[in-house]
Chains A and B, each alone.
Chain A
């Protein structure tokens, strides 16, 4: 059961990472086209800065779950690793619970922000691209992050109860 749950989360995170990669490559492509256009052909790509900014939201938000799964976030390891395994599991559970709660809060608040953008009609400065889908996108991309915290929390509690 837990294995299936883990496989599903990993697959979702993997798909999301591909979306993030596409957005990051788009950032690069837009910037290069804009620079070459401006320097060589005296032509600017309309809304290039807006597109880069909004692509960056997608790139970073959608890579978050994979980065968490791969343990790429900077952590201070030297203290916990010296403690007994069961104490480590108890501490991990507390930290994961905090992380889960915090990201649930973030999802909720990003939905609130998205709704406020939607009702106020807030848009990007040049290309008039509405902001609200991007606030919702960060919230959506944070769901697998919460699921990873939940999965790790269940595993960690399992380690506490293990004899």
Chain B
């Protein structure tokens, strides 16, 4: 059988296994192993299977993932997120829709020390939703905002999705992280503007909270100091070339731990629980990367990525039209799959094409994170929406999905803006050498 045909059948089988609810990591590893065995030899595939597992689990570049993940879980356990929300709330709470605006900025702030959109949405959901309920905010606005703003966690550095993208494509983690900063800030402003616009059109959905004095505002500002310290230490150290990505994550995790101990907020139980939470997420992510690597070997011997790159690259259409098709595929794929799964699955297929078409890999990383963000808030597999549903069980899923819609428009606008002005993502990485 032609390797390309075998590859296409393999992709079909993989989609079938996904639909049959096999975990994405296992399905990719299984199909990758079987396909590699078919195209080379069973003996070679068996050797590759154990070698890939051992090499991926022991990969030093991958150790950045657990480090940045536990930085986020320790930061949460240390109460940093709660103080961050209080600061944002004191500054904007008295405005119309102020609590939701505070939620957006608190999510952006927490995104600067946590690399997961689900964790950001869950953390801020637990803090912000009860407050918004107290002030009789509209459920659609409140839940939609937290679910959408939670996605800032994977755009603003550190970002687990950008980490995985960087590892799979061998791009600089530092450059990818810094590339996410400007789009993250602009998107936060877009989200806040969306809230302001919605509340301006219908003031009853976001009544203003209690006014605060300037003294209170200034005092509350100390709540961002810890986040700022952690961000400057870990991410700043990475940008300045002081630390390797793994070292930056470990220093950030250690710093979050010290803050929790110093503030006497971190009990032994919270320490172990947050550690286990970080371990579980890390395990899930590293398993999925292992599956993607095994699947990637199958794709390489099937030659599909290269044939696809040659075919699409030779079409008489502008590269941006091809890119629009790729983005559309990610957008549709995001409806059915988690962003991490989608990215690790498609990178071995699309990345060679993107490079061949002459697009900046750093810019492409930010673009697919943005499109992936849409995936985590759109039905039927909107992970963030399910997280918010878990925190606010009284709000119907349909209401949360409806609440998402205006923010989806903001995300699409941001993506188009980034396609028209790629410098938004590519300008800052010029200053990074690591």
Contact = CB atoms under 8 A, between A and B. Distances in A.
Given A77-B381, A95-B17, A98-B30, A61 B279 contact: no
A76 B19 contact: yes
Nearest to B344: A74
Contacts of B66: 24, 27, 56, 59
Given A28-B254, A54-B58, A73 B336 contact: no
17 contacts: A21-B276, A28-B67, A32-B251, A56-B63, A59-B279, A59-B282, A60-B282, A63-B279, A63-B280, A70-B280, A73-B23, A74-B23, A74-B25, A78-B336, A78-B380, A80-B20, A109-B47
Nearest to B257: A28
Contacts of A102: 26, 29-30, 33
Given A57-B57, A78-B380, A110-B53, A28 B250 contact: yes
B21 A56 contact: no
A74 B50 contact: no
Interface in B187-213: none
Interface string B53-67: 110011110110011
Contacts of A146: none
Interface string A61-81: 101101100101111111110
B288 interface: yes
Contacts of B247: 31, 34-35
Secondary structure class of chain B's binding surface, majority of residues:
helix
A9 interface: no
Contact of A106 (B21, B53, B242, B249): B53
B375 to A, nearest CB: 12
Interface in B242-257: 242-243, 246-247, 249-251, 253-254
Contacts of A163: none
B22 A80 contact: no
Contacts of B33: 102
Contact of A61 (B57, B281, B337): B57
Interface range for A: 35 or more
Given A57-B57, A60-B283, A67-B284, A27 B251 contact: no
B50 A112 contact: yes
Contacts of B18: 76
A70 B23 CA distance: 13
A134 to B, nearest CB: 7
B425 to A, nearest CB: 26
Interface string B236-280: 000000110011011101100000000000000000100110111
A60 B286 CA distance: 7
B113 to A, nearest CB: 15
A153 interface: no
Contacts of A35: 243, 247, 250-251
B428 to A, nearest CB: 24
B279 A24 contact: yes
B287 interface: yes
A100 to B, nearest CB: 11
Contacts of B30: 98, 102
Contacts of A24: 66, 70, 275, 278-279, 282
A98 to B, nearest CB: 7
Interface in B17-41: 17-26, 29-30, 33
B63 A52 contact: yes
A99 B22 contact: yes
Nearest to A113: B50
A8 interface: no
Nearest to A25: B275
Contact of B279 (A20, A75, A94): A20
A128 to B, nearest CB: 15
Closest 7 CB pairs of A and B: A31-B250, A73-B23, A109-B50, A78-B380, A63-B283, A113-B50, A32-B254
B126 to A, nearest CB: 19
Interface in A27-46: 27-28, 31-32, 34-35, 39
Contact of B253 (A28, A98, A135): A28
Given A24-B275, A28-B254, A32-B251, A110 B54 contact: yes
A111 to B, nearest CB: 9
Nearest to A56: B63
A15 B57 CA distance: 20
Interface in A96-130: 98-99, 102, 105-106, 109-110, 112-113
